[in-house]
Amino acid sequence: MQPRVAIPLTLSAPRRTPGRGPLLRLGGTTMGTTWSVQCIAAAGLEQPLHRAIAAELDRVVAQMSPWEPRSDISRFNCGAIGEWQTLPAEFAKVIDCALRVAQETDGAYDPCMGALVDLWGFGPSARRMSPPAREAIEQALDHSGWRHLAFDPQQARLRRTAAAQLDLCGIAKGFAVDQVMAALRRHGVDHALVEIGGELAGCGVKPDRTPWWVAIDRPAGERIATAPLLVALHGLAIATSGCERGFADAGRVYSHTIDPATGAPIDNAMVSASVLHLSCIKADAYATALMVLGPEAGLAFAARHNLAAALLFKSGGSLAEKLSPALQAMLD
């Protein structure tokens, strides 16, 4: 089956045309996953670029990883309720975006689900293979949610009004992709593809002047009637939220995506949501929100907000796909 091809409706010329030399390929590990960069760079930039990328990734981990007991987010979660805490600049930028998307999606994306993520075994605590007690879920739900946060953007400070726990894992990888791309641009790189754990951003073109083509994720081994979908990441980012980190118990599969309305994993037939956006941080947050909203409400939200999105969900024993109008327009 021939793949479908999605091309951005607006194409901008890079500041410099690419040379014909080989691609510089860099990579490593971060945030419990891998990162990679392919770019066209001047001779002698390999080590400076690797150091710059590592510094950006280490900064995100040091500020936003709940697995690091000395991170800024861990200190915030252990801080006194009602007490203002000053945030590093990057952390404040992520919180500002997270709260805007939480309000825009009416909490379908919620950066304050840490207690429930942990309770279900998807956080720093030990993994579990069976659901927690309903009473424990209700107790955690009572003091979870973004409305328990107060943010002062002018002074870059944040406080909680309840024992809510921040969890930025649904947005931090996307932010890290943006930070790495910004670091490349500061070093004069105009043509690059950045990937962290399946979240990607591209600028410019490859040495042969073709786009950075990426395939929208599909679960392996699942039947689906539509052809694969390739996207030209030219000045675009893509993030996909899925169900790959769940667990099965008593014949049911529990997704790692928590529905903020119920405090339990989503149960709406969603398999994955992929979002294209100018920034990977927003693509990441919106993809999580669409997973929670489900096929119908998610597609309606994407249409209202002009999001280019692909939703995969179970229907009649196989996978079905819905594309938002903005993504469909990239195919036409």
Q: Among candidates 185, 184, 203, which has minimal Cα distance to 193?
A: 203
195 φ, ψ (degrees, to nearest 5): -140, 130
Tokens of 297: 């409400």
- Residue 284 is assigned to a ligand binding site: yes
Q: Contact, 239 vs 284, CB < 8 A?
A: yes
How far lies 177's CA from each of 14, 37, 98, 199, in Å?
19, 10, 16, 7
Q: Contact, 313 vs 242, CB < 8 A?
A: no
Q: Contact, 65 vs 166, CB < 8 A?
A: no
- Residue 110 is assigned to a ligand binding site: no
- Residue 210 is assigned to a ligand binding site: no
317 φ, ψ (degrees, to nearest 5): 85, 0
Binding residues, by number, are 170, 284, 288
Binding residues for Mg(2+), by number, are 170, 284, 288
